[in-house]
Structure 1
Amino acid sequence: MQTTTTAPAAKTGRGAGFAMLLGSGLSNQLGAAIGSMAFPVIGPAGVVAVRQWIAAVLLLGVGRPRLRAFTPPQWRLVLALAAVFATMNLALYAAIDRIGLGLAVTLEFLGPLVVALAGSRRLLDLGCAVIAAAGVVVLTRPQPSTDYLGIGLALLAAVCWACYILLNRAVGRRLPGAQGSAAAAGVSGLVFVPVGVLVLVEHPPTAGALVCAAGAGLLASAVPFLVDLLALRRIPAAAFGIFMSVNPVLAAGVGVLVLGESLQVAQWLSIAAIVAANAVSVSSGLRRGAPENILESTPKME
């Protein structure tokens, strides 16, 4: 009797967990779209500054790091994570401003894919790499309207996300709980204080721009972080990593519906190919007994 009553409850819990992840992904991409509406007034740097401040307040409140107890080696990791965190978000938002939400997020997801494929010699993983590479070639192929700077910024965000995954894993081993991530978010928020002040002084924000930037901070930082933590209590962390691969599709959909972006059929197919390669690579790594899921450490601090 106990088994029959527990199984439906477990399925219900997992269903709720996946629903939370879907809501988290939609919130993340909708927040990015809303934030981009403030670009004409305060630019990507202004929006990112507000986002970093909100993320810092949130994570410092949740992680409550004991900063005075950090050792120099721990501080070095935290500072490196803070630098990657700040660069990743600034590069991503600058890329969104130039090439659109869907393409920027898709290219950024190459970071986790590279981490998943690194060091693998399996034919399946090689196939995933070839499929993803083909998708990237289609997305970045030369055209009269190709924005190479935007593509470069999105790829920089991908590199930063790969570094973020590796650094976050190292920080998680050196510092308990979310203390390392919280401290990195706090440092990043401090770094963006002069940047944000300079931008807001040179480009006085309207009330609407501030609302959009704050909305990006809440929807793309606070909500996903808290919802992902709740979802991880209901579903395996491995499933969390695989489910994150749907974010480029959500980003492309939000870009079309909210921002009026248009994507060609070839671009949609390329996005689907990169998403599929990401999901297959992560799931195959789990099946072969990989000791740690590449996305397991903490939810991404966007």
Structure 2
Amino acid sequence: MPTIKSPLLIAIISLLAAMITIQSGASIAKQLFPLVGPGGTVALRISLSALILMLIFRPWRARLSWPQWRSMCIYGASLGGMQLSFYFAIERIPLGIGVALEFSGPLLLALLSSKRKKDLIWVALAILGIVFLLPDMNGVDALDPIGVALALIAGGFWAGYIWFGQRAGSVGSGGMTVSIGMLVAAVIYFPIATQLAEASIFSWSILPMALLVAVMSSALPYSLEMVALSRLSTQHFSVLMSLEPAIAAMAGLAILGETLQWSQWLAIFMIITASMGSTLSAAKSPTKVTQE
């Protein structure tokens, strides 16, 4: 019995640690905004992350065909666009709400891929959750509409990241794919992000915190996810990943002091439930084998 449960326990702990790490990294990144702005934070994160991942996975060993390069470029563009739009979103809205809204992208992708009519239940629940996130857009507690729009755009990029990441994944290991994708993202978005950054982006005093963000947002959580993926089925991995909006909300509360209304916590729970329901429903497809 211990030989069965121990790998599963290690996988669950690794995945939870990955989510906590990446959302804590986002909270720390938000503290860089007053110094270098969201654009500067993105520029530092993608460039340092690309460097770290290149040193770890040595992507120059890959031999890519033209179709693979095309998928890789779109994958990298989606990865960078997701980070840029998300960081500008959480400049205006709380981290937990930003992640919950961003989650609409992969959730919609999963639901659009489904042929089951009963999955419309999860669509309705996700939409209801988003409605609860946006109470009175003219009231005292109204969310910034630009921040909301940017979070939804980030969700669209996230869906593209998943879609094209699956196609780019034929390059080899997942580490090779993400390292090349991050390099592409840096090449595309670093010039754009630096134009949107504060002048202090090139200050050496910023580097330690920026390096911490890069490690917590890429190398460390990615390594932990690889540990989890080697021990979990895709279904279990996706269900656990559905907890990320709640973890983001708690990270925002603990590190940034961002408090949410009860209706917004309920909305996050609805979106998590919709994501879990969609994942479990997809796992019942007769074309998939989930038992070993």
Structure 1 length-normalised TM: 0.87
Equivalent residue number for residue 298 of structure 1: none
**245, 253, 273: which one aligns with 2:242:** 245
Equivalent-residue separation in structure 2 for 1:21 and 1:92 (angstroms) = 22
Equivalent-residue separation in structure 1 for 2:114 and 2:198 (angstroms) = 49
Equivalent-residue separation in structure 2 for 1:50 and 1:169 (angstroms) = 26
User: How far is 1:215 from its partner?
Assistant: 1.7
Equivalent-residue separation in structure 1 for 2:132 and 2:228 (angstroms) = 34
Equivalent-residue separation in structure 2 for 1:65 and 1:180 (angstroms) = 8
Given the alignment of the two structures, is residue 46 of structure 1 paired with residue 40 of structure 2, yes or no? Answer: yes
The one-letter code sitting in structure 1 at the alignment partner of 2:240 is F
Equivalent residue number for residue 158 of structure 2: 161
| Alpha carbons 2:29, 2:210 under 8 Å: kept | yes
Any idea what the Cα deviations from partners look like across 1:219-244, whole Å, max 9, x if unmatched? Answer: 12111001111122222232111110
Report matched runs for 1:22-37 at 5 Å. 22-37=16-31
User: How far is 1:152 from its partner?
Assistant: 0.5
User: How far is 1:102 from its partner?
Assistant: 0.5
Equivalent residue number for residue 59 of structure 2: 65
Given the alignment of the two structures, is residue 177 of structure 1 paired with residue 185 of structure 2, yes or no? Answer: no
Equivalent-residue separation in structure 1 for 2:76 and 2:289 (angstroms) = 23
User: How far is 1:194 from its partner?
Assistant: 3.2
Report matched runs for 1:111-126 at 5 Å. 111-126=105-120
Equivalent residue number for residue 223 of structure 2: 226
**87, 95, 109: which one aligns with 2:89:** 95
Helix, strand or coil at the partner of 2:106: helix
Equivalent-residue separation in structure 2 for 1:148 and 1:231 (angstroms) = 36
Helix, strand or coil at the partner of 1:99: coil
Given the alignment of the two structures, is residue 132 of structure 1 paired with residue 126 of structure 2, yes or no? Answer: yes
5+ residue gaps, structure 1: 1-6, 294-302
| Alpha carbons 1:47, 1:213 under 8 Å: kept | yes
1:290–1:107 distance in 2 versus 1, CA, 3 Å: farther
Helix, strand or coil at the partner of 2:91: helix
Report matched runs for 1:271-290 at 5 Å. 271-289=268-286
Deviates more, 1:20-29 or 1:226-235: 226-235
Equivalent-residue separation in structure 1 for 2:166 and 2:193 (angstroms) = 29
Equivalent-residue separation in structure 1 for 2:212 and 2:24 (angstroms) = 9
The one-letter code sitting in structure 2 at the alignment partner of 1:46 is G
Equivalent-residue separation in structure 2 for 1:158 and 1:248 (angstroms) = 13
Q: CA RMSD in A?
A: 2.2
1:185–1:291 distance in 2 versus 1, CA, 3 Å: farther
| Alpha carbons 2:25, 2:216 under 8 Å: kept | yes
The one-letter code sitting in structure 2 at the alignment partner of 1:214 is L
| Alpha carbons 1:42, 1:199 under 8 Å: kept | no
Equivalent-residue separation in structure 1 for 2:52 and 2:203 (angstroms) = 25
The one-letter code sitting in structure 1 at the alignment partner of 2:40 is G
| Alpha carbons 2:132, 2:266 under 8 Å: kept | no
Helix, strand or coil at the partner of 2:231: coil
Equivalent-residue separation in structure 1 for 2:193 and 2:155 (angstroms) = 24
| Alpha carbons 2:168, 2:177 under 8 Å: kept | yes
Equivalent residue number for residue 138 of structure 2: 143
User: How far is 1:51 from its partner?
Assistant: 1.4
| Alpha carbons 2:96, 2:245 under 8 Å: kept | yes
Equivalent-residue separation in structure 2 for 1:214 and 1:13 (angstroms) = 31
**9, 16, 19: which one aligns with 1:15:** 9
Equivalent-residue separation in structure 2 for 1:75 and 1:288 (angstroms) = 32
Structure 2 length-normalised TM: 0.90
1:266–1:52 distance in 2 versus 1, CA, 3 Å: same
| Alpha carbons 1:41, 1:206 under 8 Å: kept | no
Aligned length: 286
Any idea what the Cα deviations from partners look like across 1:12-42, whole Å, max 9, x if unmatched? Answer: 1101110111111111111100110010010
Helix, strand or coil at the partner of 2:92: helix
Equivalent residue number for residue 56 of structure 1: 50
User: How far is 1:276 from its partner?
Assistant: 0.6
